[in-house]
Amino acid sequence: MKTTSLHSIHSALGAKLIDFGGWHMPVQYGAILDEVVCVRNRAGLFDLGHMGRVHVSGPDALAFVDRIATNYCAKIPVQSIRYSLFCRPDGNPIDDVLLYREPESVYIVVNASNTAADLAWMREHATGFRVTIDDQTDATAMIAIQGPLSRDILQRAVTGFDLDKLGYYKFDFATVCGLERTRISRTGYTGELGYELYLPTQEGPRVWRALAELGTAEGVAPIGLGARDILRLEAGMPLYGHEIDAEHNPIEAGLNFGVSFAPEKKSTLGRDALERVLAAPRRKLVGLTTPGPRVPRQGTEVYRGTAAVGHVCSGAPSPTLSTNIASAYVTLDAAQAGTELELDFRGKRQPCRVQELPFYSRTRK
């Protein structure tokens, strides 16, 4: 398995380490639900070094990305970020990604488990485009700080830049812990105020320790993948391999905001198939809450009376909502908020109720 530059820190902190997308990553440091509460109420540190980071440059960089990505890259304002997807001709995604629009190039963040497939897809479709595809994953570390106190804590490490002026899904460069031209983005996978930092690999441990020390008084803590999964589910954010995959398209997943149907995007891979789904969707991704004791898990079947109407994609106990929650695909006739359904646990039924996603959101400036 691969390791990030922070691996020795995780081991020293007593983290439980698991294989995640070929990386040896911390799933938890303590109780997972306590880590969720820490991020919702204070702030937490995340090692995101396993995420793929790719820089696309060259005269045709924007045109190339608009060929392979569903969002309209050329229309993204410079220093802004947009959610997008790489889709096959059948409209189903290879991955979901973030596009960082630079003046003449694009920085792309992809999922750890899909990095190799994404790079192969990009290189396969680069023929005829004057582009350079630079995999910067091994050369960089990626650290996130998330939670309502994240701005105050990170600001202590930043010089010459006011984080209050960095808008949601925007990025800039600043000096962080003495490192000039550090990429800072106001993004995250928790639904909270938060930031993600991109650093030279060798600087990752020093910056992590500095941020941890700066946040000691506020109770900032390291956060593992287990809590991250619950946080993103509460916030209604998809995870590749669960809400979207080779069998689940972005339209029925409610990710239309990441898909452009502009006339100029006619040649985008998967465009025709996605237009057909848009015209006649068959199912919808919804939220489910259930007061019963059993936690829904991926694959749990959803029923309406005697009829199976869908299946669970992700499920977890939610400390924020004080109930069990799940995302699920259900037929359109069962997708209205408030609809009473049942979860089937090996023949035992447990009531649940449909609600619109996300389960949790915060007011953003």
**Which residue spans within the chain are E strands per DSSP?**
16-20, 23-28, 44-47, 52-57, 81-87, 93-101, 106-110, 132-135, 140-146, 158-159, 171-176, 179-185, 194-200, 221-222, 283-290, 301-304, 307-318, 323-331, 340-345, 348-355
**Domain match, 169 and 36 both:** yes
Q: Are 130 and 58 contacting, i.e. CB atoms less than 8 angstroms apart?
A: yes
Q: What is the CATH number of the domain that holds 304?
A: 2.40.30.110
Q: Is residue 239 part of a domain?
A: no
**Domain match, 161 and 225 both:** yes
Structure tokens at 199: 């650093």
Q: Is residue 247 part of a domain?
A: no
- pTM higher than 0.85: yes
Q: Is residue 262 part of a domain?
A: no
**Domain match, 104 and 167 both:** no
Residue 28 Cα to chain centre, angstroms: 18
Q: Is residue 243 part of a domain?
A: no
Instruction: Identify the DSSP state of 144.
Output: E
**Domain match, 107 and 38 both:** no
Backbone angles phi, psi at 182, to 5 degrees: -85, 130
Q: Are 167 and 184 contacting, i.e. CB atoms less than 8 angstroms apart?
A: no
What is the Cα–Cα distance from 151 to 160, expressed in whole angstroms?
A: 15
Q: Is residue 188 part of a domain?
A: yes
What is the Cα–Cα distance from 316 to 326, expressed in whole angstroms?
A: 6
Q: Are 38 and 44 contacting, i.e. CB atoms less than 8 angstroms apart?
A: yes
**203-234 in b/e burial notation, b at 16+ Cβ within 10 A?**
bbbebbeebbebbeebebbbbbbbbbbbbbbb
Q: Count the domains in the chain.
A: 3
Amino acid residing at 254 = G
Q: Is residue 177 part of a domain?
A: yes
* Domain C-terminal end among 116, 132, 148: 132
Q: What is the CATH number of the domain that holds 35?
A: 3.30.1360.120
Which residues in the chain come in under a pLDDT of 50? Answer: 364-365
**Domain match, 144 and 127 both:** no
Give the per-residue pLDDT at 362.
86
Q: How are beta strands 44-47 and 221-222 bridged, if at all?
A: parallel
Q: Are 333 and 320 contacting, i.e. CB atoms less than 8 angstroms apart?
A: no
Amino acid residing at 12 = A
Q: What is the CATH number of the domain that holds 116?
A: 3.30.70.1400
Instruction: Identify the DSSP state of 18.
Output: E
**Domain match, 116 and 149 both:** no
32-41 vs 225-234: helix crossing angle, rounded to 10: 60
**Domain match, 183 and 320 both:** no
Backbone angles phi, psi at 188, to 5 degrees: 170, 180
**Domain match, 195 and 308 both:** no
* Domain C-terminal end among 107, 132, 157: 132
Q: Determine the Cα angle at 344 with ends 310 and 233, to 5°.
A: 60
**Domain match, 191 and 209 both:** yes
Q: Is residue 254 part of a domain?
A: no
**Domain match, 34 and 145 both:** yes
What is the Cα–Cα distance from 26 to 18, expressed in whole angstroms?
A: 6
**Domain match, 310 and 324 both:** yes
Q: Is residue 110 part of a domain?
A: yes
Instruction: Identify the DSSP state of 80.
Output: B
Backbone angles phi, psi at 137, to 5 degrees: -60, -50
Amino acid residing at 218 = E
* Domain C-terminal end among 219, 234, 249: 234
**Domain match, 42 and 175 both:** yes
| Structural domain containing residue 343 | 282-355
